[in-house]
A = this chain, B = another copy of it.
Amino acid sequence: MRIALAQIDSVVGDIDGNASRIVDWLGGARAEGADLVLFPELAVTGYPPEDLLLRPGFVRAAHDAVDRIAKETRGITALVGGPRLDTDLFNACYVLAHGEVRCIYRKHYLPNYGVFDEDRYFAPGDDLYLLRFGDVLVGPTICEDVWQPGPPATDLALAGAQLVANISASPFHVGKDREREEMLKVRARDNSCFVALCNAVGGQDELIFDGHSVVLDDEGEVLARAPGFEEALLVVDVDPVAAVGRRLRDVRRRALQRGRERVTATEIELAPPREQSQPVQRTLAEQLSDLEQMRRALELGLRDYVQKNGFGDVVVGLSGGIDSALTAALAVEALGPERVHGVSMPSRYSSEGTRGDAQRLAESLDIDFRELAIEPVVEAFTAALAPSFEGRAADLTEENLQARVRGTLLMALSNKFGWLVIATGNKSELSVGYSTLYGDLAGGFALIKDVYKTDVFRLARWLNERAGRDLIPTSIIERAPSAELRADQRDEDSLPPYPKLDVVLEAFVELDRSREELGRDGFDPDVVERALGMVDRAEYKRRQAPPGVKLRPRAFGRDRRTPITNRWAG
């Protein structure tokens, strides 16, 4: 039997466009001789559509689109994700064949943790289906269903499924592809079942879907794997009936049946697999290193945000520091140099070194570059504020002012030319609030907001290594980090050194370790004390920050919902 996994990049809300794309790829799968083609979860609406799901007109349009797609299923069966509203609203896998909707599987397990809010929208389903293709029995499931160790996968296997088909929109973090594959290996072995998981790909606001669709046999061996971070049609020949023999030798599953009513599923009769003239070539995309995953995710996230929102060009403020250098370099890889504009906005505190580096970077990246002097603007502000500030010493106010002048200049360029401003703050800064609202946090997209400073350095070196040259000048990578908002300023004057800070942030932000536990974990108590206080106090800044690419298991935002008004200090 030949199955195809259509790992496509849907656009949230673009129901007509998504339907057309599904029909196109369905045709591609048919041309490859596939008997069955899988599309991602909610492929018709894009994932996650959030509260659009509460608009009845939106769901009706999705129903209509499914009907149109169904008409195109001559000679092939398609599993297509979309919402289903009848007795209630469900997250559904439509089984389309012979021009019609043959059955509708409703997702059993609705994730409502991390970035997920599915209980907000959907009612859980409880029906099971077996799709019969001659001797082959396929059990459809949706995303979270297969992350559960028990039913529906175990029940489908008990009912006779030889292949568990899963349509997913599984949000990315670094290493998620390997976690997902390890989990699927165990599901395949536990159930003596082939498993095929078709994942979405693409960026949607802060989320990335990484693709990496995969097919495993009943011993957990990966038969085929689609590449990450790009659309792909993964075609593979499988013989799941072969699993039946092994099931008779491994009867652990039978213990699950004991003392229960016999598990059954509604059987849907479909066309038997066709004879294939020759076997399909095996696709096994290589797994990517953590750094390469970050790079690909950041580029995909930016490209999709820009394109799906109809922007042309982007603009980045280049300070001569490493954050803006990495941001600009990633933007160039994502969009091409002709769509990236660099702006240097030196002040009296900018060194010759950073000023020259900003220009050298622009030359290295081959992007449009301009320098705008902020000094006269800062002076005009200073004069306007002088009567109010009389007798007061300079403090953070004057530093923030410079950052806001820069933010305002970038926004003016954005307004005039339609460029999207890419903010350059990293996760370490955003964690502790070492950033200026409406200043360096100004912009439409904060590309590297989920990249810790230590990873900013690693990524910059990785980009240079890949390029085989100093794409980002080494002087930028080697200079001690400074905001250059006052004379001789260094980040380490205000913050613990980044290597020490980042490990504490990771334990606190990603792992929810408490102050006490962090003490027991052996972290520098002074760093812990300073970092924790800063993280919770900075929530109000993060709330007004632009969206950016989620790379980590716990990104700020929908992943980590912290009150602003909060006196808990732990």
Tell me the A residues contacting B by CB distance below 8 Å: 11-15, 17, 48-52, 54-58, 61, 112-113, 117, 119-120, 203-205, 304-305, 308-309, 370, 372-374, 376-377, 379-381, 383-385, 387-389, 392, 395-397, 400-401, 404-405, 407-409, 411-413, 415-416, 437-438, 442, 444, 512, 514-517, 540, 543-547, 560-570
Contacts and interface: CB of A to CB of B under 8 A. Distances in A.
A507 to B, nearest CB: 12
Contacts of A12: 563, 565-568
10 contacts: A12-B567, A51-B560, A52-B563, A55-B570, A203-B565, A381-B408, A381-B409, A384-B409, A407-B438, A544-B546
A13 B567 CA distance: 5
Given A514-B55, A570-B55, A408 B416 contact: no
A529 B517 CA distance: 56
A515 B416 CA distance: 31
Contacts of A540: 444, 546
Nearest to A508: B55
Contacts of A203: 565
Contacts of A565: 11-12, 203-205, 304-305, 308-309
A550 to B, nearest CB: 14
A41 B213 CA distance: 45
A372 B384 contact: yes
A9 to B, nearest CB: 12
A342 to B, nearest CB: 13
Given A55-B570, A376-B380, 14 more contacts: A12-B565, A12-B566, A13-B563, A55-B568, A120-B561, A205-B563, A309-B565, A376-B384, A377-B381, A381-B412, A384-B409, A385-B412, A438-B438, A540-B546
Contacts of A57: 514-517, 570
A543 B444 CA distance: 10
Nearest to A373: B384
Nearest to A541: B444
Contact of A377 (B377, B389, B444, B546): B377
B544 A545 contact: yes
A70 B546 CA distance: 45
Contacts of A112: 112, 117, 119-120
A397 B380 contact: no
- Give the number of times this chain occurs in the complex, counting copies: 2
Contacts of A400: 411-412, 415
Contact of A50 (B49, B372, B561): B561
A14 B567 contact: yes
Contacts of A15: 568
A109 to B, nearest CB: 12
A49 B377 contact: no
A385 B414 CA distance: 12
B372 A376 contact: no
A69 to B, nearest CB: 18
Given A117-B561, A401-B408, A415 B395 contact: yes
A425 to B, nearest CB: 13
4 nearest interchain CB pairs?
A13-B568, A57-B514, A14-B567, A380-B380
Contacts of A562: 50-52
Given A416-B395, A416-B397, A544-B545, A567 B380 contact: no
A408 B408 contact: yes
Contacts of A380: 376-377, 379-380
Contacts of A568: 12-15, 49, 52, 55, 58
A385 B409 contact: yes
B372 A383 contact: no
Which residue, A12, A61, A544, A565, has most C-beta atoms of chain B within 10 A?
A565
A376 B383 contact: yes
Contacts of A444: 540
A17 B408 contact: no
A545 to B, nearest CB: 7
A304 B566 CA distance: 12
